[in-house]
């Protein structure tokens, strides 16, 4: 007997499957990080991950523009991350009114541990679906991205695939 709960997800089946897969993936990595002794991830930590991906340190103003937040919001994020020991803000050599945000060794350690946890999970997924299945998954995700953007704006293989860490 099927019971109609009246609940209808706000997404299509594909959207729901993508959301659940992504949430499950991130939740597993977060849980593994907590088990390894890293504190619960707060939203400000997402900026540590984003700063890690940048080619060089950036000013607070650049951070605001890059991550589409106000300078005030960027300053608040930097203050929280500084207090938690993940970044330091040093005077800019080109503009004394600006501060350059740099990752600390603690941040690098945290991101490296997270990349290892993700690589372990990626390995388990590879074991489950095989090399061909994982290649198909990449191709499907690339197609979803292309169709969703309406065109290919960049080389998807470089976007979706991180260096092999395992």
Return the structure tokens found at 98. 């600006």
pLDDT, residue 164, reads: 43
Asked whether residue 135 falls in the same domain as residue 162, the answer is: yes
Whether residue 157 has pLDDT greater than 60: no
- Nearest of 123, 90, 129, 105 to residue 48 by alpha carbon: 105
pLDDT, residue 11, reads: 84
**pLDDT tens per residue, range 28-83:** 999 999 999 988 788 888 889 899 998 889 999 999 999 999 999 999 999 999 99
How many domains are there within the chain?
A: 2
The reply to whether 144 falls in a domain is yes
Structural domain range at position 24: 12-36+105-166
CB 161 within 8 A of CB 145: no
**pLDDT tens per residue, range 81-101:** 999 999 999 998 888 889 999
Bridge-based pairing of strands 99-103 and 87-91 is: antiparallel
Confidence of residue 152 (pLDDT cuts 50, 70, 90): low
Q: Specify the residue for token string 């074991």.
A: 127
Confidence of residue 163 (pLDDT cuts 50, 70, 90): very low
CB 122 within 8 A of CB 28: no
Phi first, then psi, for residue 4 (nearest 5°) are -85, 110
Which of 103, 118, 149 lies at the terminal end of a domain, its last residue? 103
pLDDT, residue 44, reads: 86
Which of 61, 87, 103 lies at the terminal end of a domain, its last residue? 103
């Amino acid at each position: 007997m099927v019971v109609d709960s009246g609940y209808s997800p706000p997404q299509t089946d594909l959207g729901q499957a993508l959301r659940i897969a992504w949430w499950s993936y991130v939740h597993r990595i977060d849980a593994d990080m907590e088990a390894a002794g890293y504190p619960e991830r707060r939203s400000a930590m997402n900026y540590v991950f984003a700063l890690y991906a940048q080619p060089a340190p950036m000013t607070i103003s650049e951070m605001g523009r890059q991550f589409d937040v106000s300078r005030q919001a960027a300053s608040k994020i930097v203050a929280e991350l500084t207090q938690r020991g993940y970044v330091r803000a040093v005077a800019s050599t080109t503009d004394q009114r600006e501060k350059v945000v740099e990752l600390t060794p603690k941040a690098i350690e945290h991101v490296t541990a997270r990349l290892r946890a993700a690589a372990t999970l990626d390995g388990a997924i590879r074991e489950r679906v095989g090399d061909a299945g994982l290649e198909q998954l990449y191709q499907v995700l690339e197609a979803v991205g292309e169709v969703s953007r309406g065109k290919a704006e960049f080389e998807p293989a470089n976007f979706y695939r991180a260096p092999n860490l395992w």
